[in-house]
Structure 1
Amino acid sequence: MPSVKNILVVDNNPIVLEFMSTILEESGYSVRTADSGLAALSIIGEFTPDLAFVDLIMPEIDGRRLCSLFRRDLRTRKCIIVVLSAIGAEDPDREFAAYADAYLAKVPFRILRENVLAAIRDLGGGNTAPYDQTIVGSDMIHHREITKELLFAKKHMDVVLGMAHDGVLELSGDRLVTYASPSACEILGMHIDELLGRPMPDVFPTNVREQLSRGLDEITGGVKTSGRCDELPLDSRIVTVSFRSVTFDDYTSILMILRDVTELVRDRRRVESLLNDKTRLLREIHHRVKNNLNAVSGLLYLHAGRVESPEASRALNDAHGRVTTMLRIYERLFDSGRSEHIELSALLRDILDGVSGTFGAKNVRAVHTPSAHSTFVSTDVSVAIGLIVNELVTNAYKYAFPDRREGTVSVDITRRPDGVVC
C-alpha cells in the first residue's frame, strides 16, 4: 500500500478541524479540511486524499453515508477511511468495516494526537490488525444518556421515513441533495449514492426540470415558503412534488415530498372517461326526447286548429302547452350542455314567452325578474315547476283579465334565509 501524503479531515466542529490540521501539517502531510459532507464532495474534485478522517454526526450528509460515497467514487475508492467520532460509547458500531478501515474515538487531544498519527503509520503501512472491530480509545470515553437518546430518535426517524410510501428529499440551501429516503430512490430509479450531492433538479428527467426549477426559485427567492408541482411525468410514473423551506437557527434546507399518484391518475382518467360516455349518452337521449316532444307538440297544435268542438280545441291547446313546457326543459338541457340540472330563471323566461306567444294577448304582460344568484334545479324538479308555472300562467291569461283588461303576470324567484328557493 502506498504511503500517505494527502489527508482530508471532515468534521463540523471547527476546533477539531483546527487541531487535526495543525498536527497533520506539522507531521508533513498535505491537509484539506471540510465542515460538511457536501464540502468534502466538492473538495475531492480537486484534491485526491490518500486517507480521510470522517466524523459520523454531521449536518447534511452524515459520516456513514459519506464513507459509502467515497467507497463508490473512482477518485476515492482506494482512499483509507478512518472514522473519528465522539459517539463510540453510545453507538459502539463494531461492524464499521462495511464503510471504514478504522474507528478512532474522540478522546482528549493529547492522546488523540498519538492515536491519529499511529493510525496513519499503521494503515499506510498495511497494518490493519489493531483496528479490526475495535474502536480505538473507547475505554477512555464516557457514556452520555442524552447522546444515546438523540441517536435513538434519529434511528427511529430513519425507520419511519424508510417505511413511508411518499419519497423524501432534502436539499441544501444551494439545492444539492443531502438526504434521500428509500421511497424517493425507488420513485426516481436511482441509488442513494447517485443522488447525494447532486444538484436539483438534475436528478429528474429533462422534461420536468424547468417546472421544478420555477418552483424552487420561488422557495429560495423568498417568494413562497412552500410550493407544489402536480402530476409530473417520470418515465412510467406520475409524481406530485411538494416543496417546503425549513429553517433551524442559521441552518436552512428545502424538503421535497414525492408522491407517486400513478394509480390515482389512472383511476381518475378511467372515471372521467366513463362520465364522458355517460354525458354523451344522456345528451343523445335528451336530443331524441326533445325531437319526439317537438313532433307531439306540432301534432297537438295542428289538431287543435282543425277540430270543430271548442272543448276539444281547448283540451288540445292545454295539452300542447304542457308538452311545449317539457320541450323547453329538454331544449335547455341540450343547449346548456348540462345533463342533469337547469338554470331556473332561464326556464321560467322560456315558459312565459311560450304562453304569451300562444295567447297573443297584447293587454297582458308576463314578466320575470331573475334573482341575484343563479339557481339550478334537477331535471325532475324542473319538469314539475315548469308544468305548475305553465298551468298558473295559462289560467291567468284565460281568466284573470276579462273584457281585455290590461294587467301583468309576474313570476319571481326568492331565496329564504334557510336556503329554500320559492
Structure 2
Amino acid sequence: MKPKALVVDNDFFFVEFLSDLLEKRGYAVIKAYDGKEGITRLREEAVDLMFVDIIMPRIDGKQLIQFTRNLFPEKSFPIIALSGSLIETIEDVQKIGADYYIAKGPIETMAEHIGRFLDKLEKRAASDAPPEIMETARMFPRQSTAELVEMMDFQEGIVESVGVGILVVDKDAKIIRVNAPSLRILKKSIESLLNRHIGSVFPEAAYARLVTAMKAAARNPEKSATAFQVADDNIHWRVIVSIHRVAQKPVGWIVVVEDVSLWEEQASKTG
C-alpha cells in the first residue's frame, strides 16, 4: 500500500507542484487548499506525512499543527512546515511544533531541494530525526520579513492575552480560530472546536439564542453587537456576537465568551 501524504496550502499551484513530486516518489497524495479542508481530510483519512504552509487564511498552519498533535497524541508522523517568510525568525518557527521546516523559494530550486529532503527523511525513522531548518532562496528581504512577523506576533499577542474567549466563525458557521482563554472558559480542546459548528459549543438550551444573535448581526451588520447570557448549574457566560469584517466586507462572525462567574466570585470576595 502506498504511503499517504497530506499537502495543505492555499496556493493551488504549489499544492500541484508538491503533489507531483510526491506522486513520482510513490506517495498517494491527499490535497487540501486551506486549513479547514486540511482538518476535514485528517478526520477522514490516516496519513503518513503532512506538509503544511504556515501562513494561510482562516485556519493557519500553526493552528493546524496544534490540532493535529492533539488529535493524534499517540501517533507520530512527520509534519513539515512550509513558509516563504517565517523561516527568517528561527526562534519563533521552532515553537510551531513541526518536525521539519522548509523555506519556500523558486520552484526550480525547490524541486531538487525537496527531493534531497525526502531522500534523507525516508532513510531515517521520524522519531530519530530532530527538527531541522532546510532553506532555499528567500522570497522576501530579511528586514521586511522581520517586520511582518513582528506585526503578526503583536496582533496575536493581543488576541491571546485578552481576558475573554474569542471565536472566529466562518460564513458556514464553523469555527476557524480560537484563543487560549476560550479553551479555558469553554473547557474544550482545540481539536474539538476547530472546523466544528459554533452551535456545538453551547448548551442546547442556548442554541436558539445564539442563532438569533447571529441572524440579527447578519441582517444589521452596522449594529456593533448583540449580547445575551447563558446560565445553568455549571456555567454563567456573557456572549457577544458581532459581524466579522475584512476590508469592510462581512466574512463571518466574531463570538466573544466572557466567564461572568469569575467576576461574581471576585465581587463576593471583595464585598
SS at match of 2:79: strand
Shift of 1:28: 3.3
Name the structure 1 match of 2:180: 182
Shift of 1:194: 2.9
What is the identity percentage for the equivalent residue pairs of Structure 1 and Structure 2? 24
| Counterpart residue identity of residue 202, structure 1 | S
SS at match of 1:175: coil
Name the structure 1 match of 2:143: 145
Q: How does 1:41-52 map to 2 (within 5 A)?
A: 41-52=39-50
| Counterpart residue identity of residue 252, structure 1 | V
Give structure 1 stretches of 5+ with no counterpart.
Answer: 269-422
Whether 2:96 is the aligned partner of 1:63: answer no
SS at match of 1:236: coil
| Counterpart residue identity of residue 102, structure 2 | L
Query: Taking CA–CA contacts closer than 8 Å with sequence separation of 6 or more, which of the two structures ends up with the larger relative contact order?
Result: 2
SS at match of 1:185: helix
Contact 1:168/1:184 (8 A) holds in 2 = yes
**How large is the Cα RMSD of the aligned pairs?**
3.1
Distance 1:84 1:120 in 2: 14
Name the structure 2 match of 1:321: none
SS at match of 1:45: helix
Closer/same/farther in 2, CA of residues 44 and 230 from structure 1, 3 Å limit: same
Among 194, 211, 223, which residue is 2:209 paired with?
Answer: 211
| Counterpart residue identity of residue 220, structure 2 | K
Name the structure 2 match of 1:339: none
Name the structure 2 match of 1:255: 254
Closer/same/farther in 2, CA of residues 263 and 52 from structure 1, 3 Å limit: closer
| Counterpart residue identity of residue 10, structure 2 | N
Name the structure 2 match of 1:223: 219
Contact 1:228/1:240 (8 A) holds in 2 = no
Distance 1:90 1:235 in 2: 49
Closer/same/farther in 2, CA of residues 44 and 121 from structure 1, 3 Å limit: same
Name the structure 2 match of 1:26: 24
Radius of gyration: which is bigger? 1
Q: How does 1:188-337 map to 2 (within 5 A)?
A: 188-219=186-217, 222-225=218-221, 227-233=225-231, 235-248=233-246, 252-262=251-261
Shift of 1:170: 0.5
Per-residue deviation, residues 108-154 of structure 1 (Å, max 9, x unmatched): 2122112223333332332569963431125x325343332222122
Closer/same/farther in 2, CA of residues 76 and 7 from structure 1, 3 Å limit: farther
Contact 1:6/1:49 (8 A) holds in 2 = yes
| Counterpart residue identity of residue 237, structure 2 | V
Shift of 1:75: 9.4
Shift of 1:82: 0.8
Per-residue deviation, residues 52-106 of structure 1 (Å, max 9, x unmatched): 1101111112212211211222399333211111124432247638722211111
Matched residue count? 264
Alignment TM-score, normalising by the size of structure 1: 0.56
Closer/same/farther in 2, CA of residues 132 and 16 from structure 1, 3 Å limit: same
Distance 1:234 1:123 in 2: 52
Contact 2:7/2:31 (8 A) holds in 1 = yes
